[in-house]
Structure 1
Amino acid sequence: MQIAHGLAGIFLALTPVAALAQSDAAPQTPPQSASPPEKNVLEGNYLTIGGGAVIGPSYEGSNNYVVFPIPAIQGKVAGVAINPRAGGVALDFVPDPKGAKVGFMLGPTATYSANRDRHIADPVVRAAGRLDADLAVGASTGVTLYRVLDKYDSLSAAVDVKWDVHGPHGGMQISPSVSYLTPLSKALVVALSVSAKHVNDDYADYYYSVSPAQSFASGLPLYRAKGGWASVGATMVVGYSLSGDLRKGGFSLVGIAGYSRLLNDASDNPYTSIRGSPTQLVGGAGIAFTF
């Protein structure tokens, strides 16, 4: 999981609403509930729009922390689920039948990343030059098991495969993840996720290598990076409905905390090993509105 400029895992900030909508938990009566709500906005078409602020590394591998805004959108329109990603969205064209024990996901995904394009706090890394932002497009697929340990939880495994189509590097990323969600009450839900990122040579060379020109400008040693596993990490998200019931919609508060460890050339390159740190932390809070 990249918890750097891209802040992958931030998409989980709206996961409590998303997963509750897609699971069998929504139409049932959760723990501590005497009766079902008058309406369930998570059935049928709905949207969740949210935003907040997160503090995280100024670039992937940085040990300088800055604050980022985090807009996000999630929902379901005409049977197509809209799931947030860091800097983008993923669509799911395979709706889960109501009450299903197993659900599947398949659809396109697109994300925008400005890693080392802005917010570079380290003057040496900044001297090496800003990188162009990339637009990555690909596919997302996965499977969800509902009612794993109780009537209301879910366990999901997914993978996103994306290619840069905007032009700076043309690299590929593969991001597998496993997430577990459980509501603790009708208003409070917790989601835990572990994930990783694998990149190809083109991606690694663009973000982790130090070219002769970059070395001359910054004083960093030359470095030629290769692809491989770039990071692994975990994220926890807590969502709380201000209406007292997530199924009623309205405003919800969201908190997020995450840890990521950079691996291989993502950790060994001079931007990380000399000027930064392979340990990447993130924390933040936001608010979402469901209708």
Structure 2
Amino acid sequence: MAATCGSQAAAQETDSDEAEVAAQRPEGGPPAGFDMSDSVFDETWLTFGVGIGLTPSYSGSDDYRAFPLPLIVGRIGGVGITPNGPGLNFDVLSNPPGQDQGKTSLSFGPTVRFRGSRDDAVNDDVVELAGELDSALEVGVQGGVRIPGVLHRFDAVTLGTAVRWDVLGAHEGMLVEPSVGYFSPLSRGAAVQLIATASFVDDKFADYYYTVDPQQSADTGLAEFTAEGGLNSIGVTAIGTVDLDGDVLNGGLNVFFVGGYSRLVGDAADTPYTSVRGSADQFIGGLGIGYTF
């Protein structure tokens, strides 16, 4: 499992980027309870991977597009690294895999994420007339608690929250993303995680992505709409990984997959970009291969 997993699920926000967020993996490192002596998971280890994903072409779209699904997860210099959609989470409280076996542990550190939406890949001729949006770079902090042995010896529940702000002057807003995850190995070489998430946004974020201003209304024929912040989306994601030689502890090649559903709510669902031209129901999927050393 270690070979393909990162902590905050997050991610998935239910917009098209957030769908990419679903590319996030579960907990880094092997399942708790395994003998960690003579394994690839020590003070320093890394997994690199690449895959292909499917996501809505913009937040609220009912058209889908393919996107690259990169993966970096591991531990370097005492800092854990896990994916966060098109971005990364860093855990400064990280311990070597196996050290926290059977113990409740905390995570905390910076988080960064790139967000693009309504770019030249939008698959809707009407929404395209509303104009492209600038890309955002969101920077903030994330933290959580991992509770092992909930239903059986090797599983774990993770509670986490991330807060991020745009620093590139695109939406200029803030997001708060709580999540609850359940992780369980299926065998020595396979594991699965279920992640429930929610996304709260402020007025600046909602206005940037969901408002239809007078000029956009004239250009597209859509009704004018003023969006405000609040609960933006809720969803669930399933993430699985399989080590190709059946033993996660020796590293090497593995495959990972992700599938998820999320529902836009509030003004994210009511905007004409969603209610008239798209759908509040958002789906994601992805498949990739990684290598751990």
User: TM above 0.5, one fold?
Assistant: yes
Aligned to 1:34: none
Q: Cα 1:66–1:257, aligned 2, differ >3 Å: closer, same or farther? A: same
| Cα separation, 2, equivalents of 1:126 and 1:64 | 13
The within-5 A match list for 1:29-68 is 39-68=38-67
Q: Cα 1:118–1:144, aligned 2, differ >3 Å: closer, same or farther? A: farther
Greater shift in the superposed pair: 67-76 or 135-144? 67-76
- Following superposition, the deviation at residue 8 of structure 1 comes to 4.8
Q: Equivalent residue of 1:15, what SS?
A: coil
- Residue pair 1:239, 1:255 contacting (<8 A) in 2 also: yes
- Following superposition, the deviation at residue 165 of structure 1 comes to 0.5
Pick from 1, 5, 22 the counterpart of residue 10 of structure 1: 22
Specify every segment of 5 or more residues in structure 2 that has no aligned partner in the other structure, as ranges. 1-11
| Cα separation, 2, equivalents of 1:197 and 1:98 | 29
Pick from 162, 172, 175 the counterpart of residue 174 of structure 2: 172
Aligned residues: 278
Q: Equivalent residue of 1:71, what SS?
A: strand
Aligned to 2:111: 109
Aligned to 2:87: 88
Letter in 2 for 1:148: V
Letter in 1 for 2:32: D
Q: Equivalent residue of 2:16, what SS?
A: coil
| Cα separation, 2, equivalents of 1:78 and 1:25 | 24
Q: Equivalent residue of 2:287, what SS?
A: strand
- Residue pair 1:159, 1:176 contacting (<8 A) in 2 also: yes
Q: Equivalent residue of 2:269, what SS?
A: helix
- Residue pair 1:5, 1:113 contacting (<8 A) in 2 also: no
Length-normalised TM-score, structure 1: 0.92
Q: Cα 1:26–1:43, aligned 2, differ >3 Å: closer, same or farther? A: farther
| Cα separation, 2, equivalents of 1:260 and 1:248 | 35
- Residue pair 1:3, 1:56 contacting (<8 A) in 2 also: no
Pick from 20, 27, 32 the counterpart of residue 24 of structure 1: 32
- Following superposition, the deviation at residue 152 of structure 1 comes to 1.2
| Cα separation, 2, equivalents of 1:111 and 1:162 | 8
- Following superposition, the deviation at residue 218 of structure 1 comes to 1.2
Aligned to 2:135: 133
- Residue pair 2:20, 2:53 contacting (<8 A) in 1 also: no
Q: Equivalent residue of 1:217, what SS?
A: helix
For the pair 1:207 / 2:212, whether they are aligned, the reply is no
- Following superposition, the deviation at residue 232 of structure 1 comes to 0.2
- Following superposition, the deviation at residue 26 of structure 1 comes to 4.0
> Identity rate of aligned residues, in percent?
38
Length-normalised TM-score, structure 2: 0.91
- Residue pair 1:262, 1:279 contacting (<8 A) in 2 also: yes
Aligned to 1:160: 162
- Consecutive aligned runs of 4 or more in structure 1 exceeding 3 Å deviation: none
Q: Cα 1:43–1:118, aligned 2, differ >3 Å: closer, same or farther? A: farther
| Cα separation, 1, equivalents of 2:187 and 2:43 | 22
Which digits, 9 at most, give the CA deviation of each residue in 1:117-162, with x for residues without a partner? 2320000000100000000000001000112222211110111100
- Following superposition, the deviation at residue 95 of structure 1 comes to 2.4
- Following superposition, the deviation at residue 69 of structure 1 comes to 0.9
| Cα separation, 2, equivalents of 1:232 and 1:8 | 15
Specify every segment of 5 or more residues in structure 1 that has no aligned partner in the other structure, as ranges. 29-37
Aligned to 2:6: none
Letter in 2 for 1:273: S
